[in-house]
Amino acid sequence: MTEQGPGGGHAPSYDLECRNLVCRFGDFVAVNDVSFGVPEGDFFSILGPSGCGKTTILRMMAGFLQPTSGDFLIKGKSVIDMPPNRRPINMVFQHLALFPMMTVAENIAYGLLRQGINRIDARKKVEDALERIGLPGSGEKKIKQLSGGQQQRVAIARCLVLEPAALLLDEPLGALDLKLREHMKVELKKMQDQFGTTFVYITHDQSEALVMSDHVAVMNQGRFEQIGTPQDLYYQPATAFVAGFVGDTNRWQGRVESVDRDTVKVITQDGVQLLATAAGGEALSQGSQVEIFVRPEAVVITLESERITSQDNRITGELISVLFNGANSRALIRDRHTGGELDVALPQTGEFSHLQRGQEVHLGWSLAHAKAFIQKESGG
Amino acid sequence: MSLSLRSAVRLNLILLLIPVFLWLLLLIILPHIDMLLVSTQVKVRPRVYEFSFANYGEFFSEPLYWRTFARTAIMSIAATLLTLVIAFPVAYYIAKMLRGRMKSFLFLLCLVPFWVSELVRTFGWMILLRESGVFSNLFQWIGFADGPVEMLYNDATIMVGLIYTSMLFMVVPLVTILDSLDDSLVEAGYDLGGNAFTVLRTIIIPHAMPGIVSGCIVVFMLTLGNYLTPVLLGGKDSLWFTAQIYTQFITRFNWELGAAFGFLLLFLSSMIVWMGLKLSRQTLTETMG
């Protein structure tokens, strides 16, 4: 599957397609001209900070909100005038919205009975679904008797038994504790594979989006900043917002000193000279204010300065602390000259396990890993 | 130390509960014991009384009495159900459709009529509905009627008055319980394919059941025990059971029969509430809790 740019082609293989969706509340534009398509069977995430409008998009897709303008198509047919109960997509709510007055089986059967399926067939399907989510025989239980993770699975099964064209998920992992959340990430992905249903997943947690998704749209202030695979977003961010929001990163602000094709020489606010690659597709010229982003793992750390002479950017610093976290260990390093702090990934070889606080280290990174974006006035 | 602390706590609790106990004892338990004793007395000669259940027997042997009771009970049940049917959409609108100031404003509007006494409110209805009243004149002026129209003194008017008086007691528990219904449950009901009716039947009403039942109990008891509204709006023909009790006590000086009627009212209305709870599969603790 290739990347779909905003307003991309109207290939009929899209399961869901939003065209130029706009949603205003008075003067406030919650969703500003958003277009995207989700291919069949895709795990599509919309990632953004809270208040960016992602829930508004989901509610428009589910039919609870009428967009100010724009169109929404399911399998090529516009459903914009269809009420939520007739749209062939279902939603998993943030707090699941399982019906507490019903048993587990009644919850799953609710949608089936609304489709006019007779009780005997419905019961069979419910038992089948309970089997698939690993809760056989729990049909007569009350919702409160289930654990958080089990409730999660019931909420998803309740939708999937209806065989919807797509499942919309509104941050369903937000209410779970950290350990369960990690577990459910894997489980959700498995369930999606198992049922083969298109998922549209909304989250503010970038690790959820990166781990589970086939495609991710990064959203900010009502607009899509970039749509792409998790790898695209991570390695080729299209905007400064994406570079800063997806994954951890070190950033500098500075002014362009000179431009040589894609390579820019930047003097940072602290007076350090750095080489970076122009990114974001905007022309940089001398004097432009830019932000430079460098991933912690792109920085080479060494105790001997000779080993990084080949790197385009070099800094000498002292170790503030080691944030040991197994394979994800980091070192916090203070720049000798400017006092700025850098986050650097430690190689997993154990070579740096004896680093001492205050020890001198040398850092280097290539200009290919340093991405310079025009700095926006709003700082968005 | 801990012992004295505990006894201090206990003393506090006792002091706090004393007014409640006094209230229960003096205003409810003692009068009822007295009523019970009075109701089992039968006058044989002036100032000479005998123990007997004859007063209770009279209730069942004299058709007027038990028919009056049955009529009162049936009309009270009808008034309760009608109040529920009218109050539910009102409560739903206040609890679920409105936000912020408008919500508290409308809620307050429901309360406003209760700032004046029931007597004045009932007179308000009489001013509107009597032969020389506002509606009668209006109908004549428009040409709907040739002469004065009397709209007082019939069952429909009693019903209107009873429902009007009971509204608040139904709206308050319903607003409270509907407020506690998570909007996403309703949305999920629609999202999974339900229409307005199925969402109401399978999600909203089951959730609101404790509020519905507690509202119904309060309204039913108030209506059954109401005296003013049926008598003023229904006149002599109102045949309300409380009016019957009043007659026994005040007009006929037959305190013994009046006391027996009072007890029967308490017992029979409790039975009806109990049956209502059984039918709706609710318990008193969860509706009142």
Pick the CATH number of B63-288 from 1.10.3720.10, 3.40.50.920, 1.10.3470.10, 3.40.50.2300: 1.10.3720.10
Lowest mean pLDDT among A102-106, B2-6, B149-153: B2-6
Residue type, B130: R
Q: B206 and chain A: CB distance < 8 Å anywhere?
A: yes
What ipTM describes this predicted complex? Answer: 0.81
Q: Does residue A6 lie within any of the structural domains?
A: no
Q: Does residue A325 lie within any of the structural domains?
A: yes
The last residue of a domain, from among A192, A224, A241: A241
In terms of C-beta density within 10 A (0-12 exposed, 13-18 middle, 19 or more buried), how is residue A309 classed?
Answer: exposed
With a CB cutoff of 8 Å and minimum separation 6, the contacts of B107 are B94, B175
My answer on whether A234 and A368 are in the same domain is no
* Chain B residues touching A91 at Cβ < 8 A: 187-188, 191
Label the pairing between strands A370-374 and A273-278: parallel
* β-sheet with A313-323: strand ranges across: A300-302, A360-365, A313-323, A330-335, A341-345
The answer to whether the CB of A155 falls within 8 A of the CB of A169 is: no
Distance from CA of B213 to the nearest CA of A (A): 16
Q: CATH number of the domain at A312, please.
A: 2.40.50.100
Nearest to B191 by CA among A41, A153, A40, A97: A97
My answer on whether A256 and A225 are in the same domain is no
The last residue of a domain, from among A204, A220, A241: A241
Q: CATH number of the domain at A196, please.
A: 3.40.50.300
Look up the domain containing A308 and give its range: 248-374
Q: Select the residue of B187, B192, B207 nearest A110 (Cβ to Cβ).
A: B192
Block residue for tokens 């606010």: A269
Q: Does residue A5 lie within any of the structural domains?
A: no
My answer on whether A265 and A357 are in the same domain is yes
CB contact under 8 A, A99 and B189: yes
CB contact under 8 A, B195 and A102: no
* Chain B residues touching A82 at Cβ < 8 A: none
Q: Select the residue of B182, B198, B207 nearest A97 (Cβ to Cβ).
A: B182
Q: In terms of CA atoms, which chain A residue is nearest residue B192?
A: A111
My answer on whether A207 and A236 are in the same domain is yes
Instruction: Choose the mutation target among A74, A113, A114, A163 for the interface with B, i.e. most B CBs under 10 Å.
Output: A114
Q: Does residue A2 lie within any of the structural domains?
A: no
Distance from CA of A170 to the nearest CA of B (A): 11
My answer on whether A134 and A270 are in the same domain is no
d(CA A40, CA A310): 46
The answer to whether the CB of A195 falls within 8 A of the CB of A161 is: no
Q: Is the pLDDT of residue B224 over 70?
A: yes
* Backbone torsions φ then ψ of A201, nearest 5 degrees: -120, 130
My answer on whether A231 and A268 are in the same domain is no
d(CA A211, CA A206): 8
* Token reading at A106: 């009644």
Q: B99 and chain A: CB distance < 8 Å anywhere?
A: no
My answer on whether A205 and A280 are in the same domain is no
Exposure string of B82-105, with b = 16+ CB inside 10 Å and e = fewer, is bbbebbbebbbebbbeeeeeebee
Q: Does residue A154 lie within any of the structural domains?
A: yes
Q: In terms of CA atoms, which chain B residue is nearest residue A115?
A: B193
Q: Does residue A379 lie within any of the structural domains?
A: no
Q: A324 and chain B: CB distance < 8 Å anywhere?
A: no
My answer on whether A226 and A264 are in the same domain is no
My answer on whether A237 and A319 are in the same domain is no
Distance from CA of B27 to the nearest CA of A (A): 40
CATH 1.10.3720.10 maps onto chain B at: 63-288
A290: left (phi over 0), alpha (psi -120 to 50) or beta: beta
d(CA A259, CA A286): 7
My answer on whether A328 and A190 are in the same domain is no
Instruction: Choose the mutation target among B192, B202, B209, B281 for the interface with A, i.e. most A CBs under 10 Å.
Output: B192
Written as tens digits, the pLDDT of chain A (380 aa) is: 344 444 444 445 788 999 999 999 999 999 999 999 999 999 999 999 988 999 999 999 999 999 999 999 999 899 999 999 999 999 999 899 999 999 999 999 999 999 999 999 999 999 999 998 889 989 999 999 999 889 999 999 999 999 999 999 999 888 788 888 888 888 888 888 888 899 999 999 988 899 999 999 999 999 999 999 999 999 999 999 999 999 889 989 999 988 888 889 998 888 888 899 888 777 788 888 899 999 999 998 888 888 888 888 888 898 988 888 887 888 899 988 888 888 898 887 777 777 888 888 899 999 889 999 988 754 43
What are the distances in angstroms from CA A146 to CA A170, B8, B206? 21, 43, 21
d(CA B218, CA B273): 10
CB contact under 8 A, A85 and B193: yes
d(CA A107, CA A115): 14
Q: In terms of CA atoms, which chain B residue is nearest residue A91?
A: B191
CB contact under 8 A, A111 and B184: no
Q: How many distinct structural domains can be found in chain A?
A: 2
Q: B63 and chain A: CB distance < 8 Å anywhere?
A: no
The last residue of a domain, from among A198, A222, A241: A241
Instruction: Choose the mutation target among A74, A87, A93 for the interface with B, i.e. most B CBs under 10 Å.
Output: A93
CB contact under 8 A, B185 and A102: no
**Chains A, B: CB pairs < 8 Å:** 60
Q: A129 and chain B: CB distance < 8 Å anywhere?
A: no
Residue type, B114: F
Q: Does residue A202 lie within any of the structural domains?
A: yes
Q: Select the residue of A64, A86, A98 nearest B187 (Cβ to Cβ).
A: A64
CB contact under 8 A, B185 and A97: yes
My answer on whether A167 and A289 are in the same domain is no
**Half-sphere exposure in the Cβ direction for A217 (13 Å, CA):** 28
My answer on whether A198 and A50 are in the same domain is yes
Q: In terms of CA atoms, which chain A residue is nearest residue B191?
A: A85
B233-272 pLDDT tens trace: 988 878 899 999 999 999 988 888 999 999 899 998 899 9
Q: Does residue A127 lie within any of the structural domains?
A: yes
